[in-house]
Each structure stands twice: as C-alpha cells, then as structure tokens.
A and B are shown apart, each in its own frame.
Chain A
Amino acid sequence: MNTPSLYRAFSLLLWRDLLLAYRRRTEMINPLLFFVLVTALFPLGIGANPELLRTIAPGIIWVAALLAAILSLDSVFRSDFDDGSLEQFLISAQPLSVLVLAKVIAHWLITGLPLLIVAPLLGLLLDLPGPSIVTLMLTLLLGTPVLSMIGAIGVALTVGLRRGGVILSLLVLPLYIPVLIFAANAVETSGAGLPITAHLSLLSALLVLSVSLTPLATAAALKISLG
C-alpha cells in the first residue's frame, strides 16, 4: 500500500463512476429535472409578482437544490451494493475512506455540478439581481458538496435496509439545515448589498470539515452495514 497505488485507486474509481454515469445518463438527469421543474413552477403557482419572487428566490432555489440532492443520494452506493461491488471495496488493499471520497466526489460531479450550472438561469427566472446570482453560485459551489458528503453517511447506514428511503431523509435532513440557513441567508444578504464574508467563511468551514471527516464516518458506516 504505497502512495502511487493509493492515488491510482482513487483516480480509477473516479473514472469508473463517471463512466458508469455516462452510460446511464438518462437516470442521472432526474435530480436536475426535479430542481428545474420545482423552481420553474413557483412563479406559475404564486403569480408573476417580481417583488415577491425576488424575496423568496434564495429560499426556493436552495430548498429545491437540497431536495434534489436528497433525491439523488440513494444512487451513491445502491447499485454497488446490489451487484456486490461494495464488498470488493470493503476488502480492497486501499483504505475504504479514500475510495469513499472518490465515489462521493464523482457523485457530486454528476448530480451537484449540473445544479450549479443551471442555477443562474433559474435566478434570472425569479428576477434575482446580478450580485445575488453570483452569490447563489458561490453558495451552491460550497454547499452542495457538503450535502453529498453528509448524505453519503446516511446512505452508507441505510444501504442494507430494504426501504431505507424514509429513514435516510430523517437522518440527513437535520444535518442539512445549517447549510440551507447560511446559504439562503447569504444570497438574501447580498441582494441587500451587505457583505457576505461571514456566510461564505462558515460554508467553507463546513466544506473543509465534511471533506476531511465524513469519508471516515461513511467508511465506518459501510463496514457496519455490510458486516
């Protein structure tokens, strides 16, 4: 177990998951479609009142992103659990936490990054001013990886259960709340022309914390689920 092979295993798994996602791309579009549809339906539901839309836009976009993230979570480990690949990761010659990190990063690239890319369009749709859209992208860039990282712990704990969906949401949602509060508040604050450094610092701290700690927790949870 040396560093080159550790790096190789990491990049190999990242490549594998991206390739698998590419070959099953129709399934991967679901969370993105959900995100766009939910956000696009709000103006239709509450009427074309730019003032009102602008006020609630940060909340709507972030809540939709959060729900889209939950919707996509199950796919992190589900198919690997079903076909036995997860067992192979568990007995890999590389530390499980590193493999988990590769899988979660791949998952974020597949499901989180597309949200980030369409977010400016949705911002325009809800009449968000320019600076707020920039802040929205920044918060999504910092926040959605945290959602993937924390969610992976929940999925790892519930992957062995027949119907883990409800438990997963209950486990994960409370942990998502801080991200939601800071991120939506940052967009709102920047709309009012106030500084948002504190929000971004907090979100960055959450990101650093989750990148460094959640792979260990997820690896431990997988060992419990499969043991």
Chain B
Amino acid sequence: MSCLEARDLGCIRDDRSLFEGLSFRLGPGQVLLLEGRNGSGKTSLLRILCGMRQPDGGALEWNGEDIFDLGPDYHAHIAYVGHRDGVKHDLTARENLTVARGLGAPNTAVDIEDALDQVELWGFDDVPARNLSAGQQRRLALARLLVTRADLWILDEPFTSLDSHGIGIVESLFANHVAAGGMLAVTSHHCVSLNDNDIIRINLSP
C-alpha cells in the first residue's frame, strides 16, 4: 500500500518561518486538507509535496523512500493542478490532455473523451482552450488528473472560478478517487464534502 509520510517538515521563505515540525502520514483513501490564512504557506507545502521545492527541514517519504531520491519514479504517482492551470491556450482540449497523458504514467482505462465527459466538457474536444471560459479551463486542467494513473492528487485551490455546478462535478471526482483508494492533498476555502474520518486537517495559521 502506498503512503506519503512527512516528518518534521519546515519551510522558510524570505527569512520567515512559514511552518516547522510538520508531520503527517497520508495513506490510501485519505485526504489531507490544508487550511490557513493567505500567505500561511499552503502553496509552499503543496509544492514541497510535489517535489518541486526542497523543504528547509525534515523529510518526505513515499513508501519509505525519500521523494527527492525517487524523482521521476515518485512523479509517476502524482498529479498536480496549481494556481496556474498549465493549460495551453493555443492547443485544443484534446491536445492539452494528450500532452498531459504522455508526460505522466498514462491511464489506459480512461481515454481522453471519457475524461472530458467526466468534467462535462464533451463537445469541446476540438475547441482551442483560449475559447473556453475560465471555469471550463479549470475543469480542463482538472481532467488532467483522470488521464494519468496518479495515486496522489495534489490540488491548490481546485474550486477557483468554478460555479456551484462545477464544484459538484469536481467533488464527485474527488469522492470517486478517494473511494478507489486514491489520496488527495488539497487546499481550499470550500468545505470538501467527504467522510470526516478520512480527512487529516492541518491548519498552518498559528
């Protein structure tokens, strides 16, 4: 069983300690919900979890191995959607997902049409992403989670610019992922409607 374990993580930014001594263990079917005020280090923590940023203290292990030693072998297990969508405006929805699929570990069970279906973007597969609305672009970015075989989804404010219907769609994606034994690390101002027992809450604001 996969698991992500953090021990005594610390992060310093501009000579300010954002957090220190942060420990948690995220197992299959669990959700890590990060809370805290703006600037409390939620995004920094997520970027550390992705392996994009080195923590300033502590260790982060995937199945007992340091994620920075694993490198691409760890990245094959994660999918990340950050503040910036990572959606190319000059490519169509289908082309965007084709690239995302090729860069990760492709999920052969879900083809690109299915993924677009699940985020209710059917019929938009040949539309350049620049012609999609902000909410639709966000849903396209989130469809990236489906086309790779990622166990751990790392999401920074996934509900930004989504309407209540879009939030519903995305919440059901999360619920399915967690029910299938996936893991989720998410920052959000919305309450994620999931079984409370499986949620690890971390508040970064002192």
Taking the closest CB of chain A, its distance from the CB of B131, in whole angstroms, is 13
Chain A residues within 8 Å of B47, by CB:
227
Query: Are B90 and A91 neighbours in the complex by a CB distance under 8 Å?
Result: no
Of B53, B86, B88, B103, the contact of A9 (CB 8 Å cutoff)? B103
Chain A residues within 8 Å of B103, by CB:
9, 12-13, 88-89, 92-94, 99
Size class of the contact patch on chain B: 20 to 34
Name the residue on B nearest A90 (C-beta): B52
Q: Is the interface of A mostly helix, strand, loop or mixed?
A: helix
Chain B residues within 8 Å of A93, by CB:
72-73, 75-76, 103-105, 148
Chain B residues within 8 Å of A20, by CB:
88, 90-91
Query: Are B102 and A12 neighbours in the complex by a CB distance under 8 Å?
Result: yes
Chain A residues within 8 Å of B148, by CB:
93
The 8 A CB mask of B102-117 against A (1 = contact, 0 = none) is 1111100000000000
Of B75, B83, B87, the contact of A91 (CB 8 Å cutoff)? B75
Chain A residues within 8 Å of B80, by CB:
87-88, 91
B60 proximal to A (CB < 8 A)? no
The 8 A CB mask of A36-66 against B (1 = contact, 0 = none) is 0000000000000000000000000000000
Chain A residues within 8 Å of B72, by CB:
1, 92-95
Chain A residues within 8 Å of B54, by CB:
227
Name the residue on A nearest B106 (C-beta): A5
Interface centre among B51, B99, B103 (most CB of A within 10 A): B103
The 8 A CB mask of A69-113 against B (1 = contact, 0 = none) is 000000000000011110111111111000100000000000000
Taking the closest CB of chain A, its distance from the CB of B56, in whole angstroms, is 11
B36 proximal to A (CB < 8 A)? no
Query: Are A91 and B95 neighbours in the complex by a CB distance under 8 Å?
Result: no
Name the residue on A nearest B129 (C-beta): A83
A84-B83 contact given A91-B52, A93-B72, A93-B76, CB 8 Å threshold:
yes
A92-B75 contact given A9-B103, A99-B103, CB 8 Å threshold:
yes
Interface centre among B52, B75, B85, B105 (most CB of A within 10 A): B75
Chain A residues within 8 Å of B102, by CB:
5, 8-9, 12-13
Taking the closest CB of chain A, its distance from the CB of B12, in whole angstroms, is 13
A23 proximal to B (CB < 8 A)? yes
Interface centre among A19, A85, A87, A88 (most CB of B within 10 A): A88
Name the residue on A nearest B76 (C-beta): A93
Q: Is the interface of B mostly helix, strand, loop or mixed?
A: loop
Chain A residues within 8 Å of B52, by CB:
87, 90-91, 223, 226-227
Query: Could you tell me the distance between the alpha carbons of A223 and B71 in the complex, rounded to whole angstroms?
Result: 12
Query: Could you tell me the distance between the alpha carbons of A85 and B100 in the complex, rounded to whole angstroms?
Result: 9
Query: Are A92 and B53 neighbours in the complex by a CB distance under 8 Å?
Result: no
Query: Are B73 and A19 neighbours in the complex by a CB distance under 8 Å?
Result: no
Interface centre among A13, A84, A99 (most CB of B within 10 A): A84
Query: Are A87 and B82 neighbours in the complex by a CB distance under 8 Å?
Result: yes
A1-B73 contact given A13-B99, A91-B80, CB 8 Å threshold:
yes
Taking the closest CB of chain B, its distance from the CB of A136, in whole angstroms, is 34
Chain B residues within 8 Å of A85, by CB:
86, 88
Chain B residues within 8 Å of A94, by CB:
72, 103
Chain A residues within 8 Å of B87, by CB:
83-84
The 8 A CB mask of A134-149 against B (1 = contact, 0 = none) is 0000000000000000
Name the residue on A nearest B50 (C-beta): A91
Query: Could you tell me the distance between the alpha carbons of A86 and B100 in the complex, rounded to whole angstroms?
Result: 12
What are 11 A-B contacts defined by CB distance under 8 Å?
A1-B76, A8-B102, A12-B103, A23-B91, A84-B83, A87-B50, A89-B103, A93-B73, A93-B104, A93-B105, A223-B52
Using CB atoms and an 8 Å cutoff, list the residues of chain B in contact with chain A.
47, 50-54, 71-73, 75-76, 78, 80, 82-91, 95, 98-100, 102-106, 148
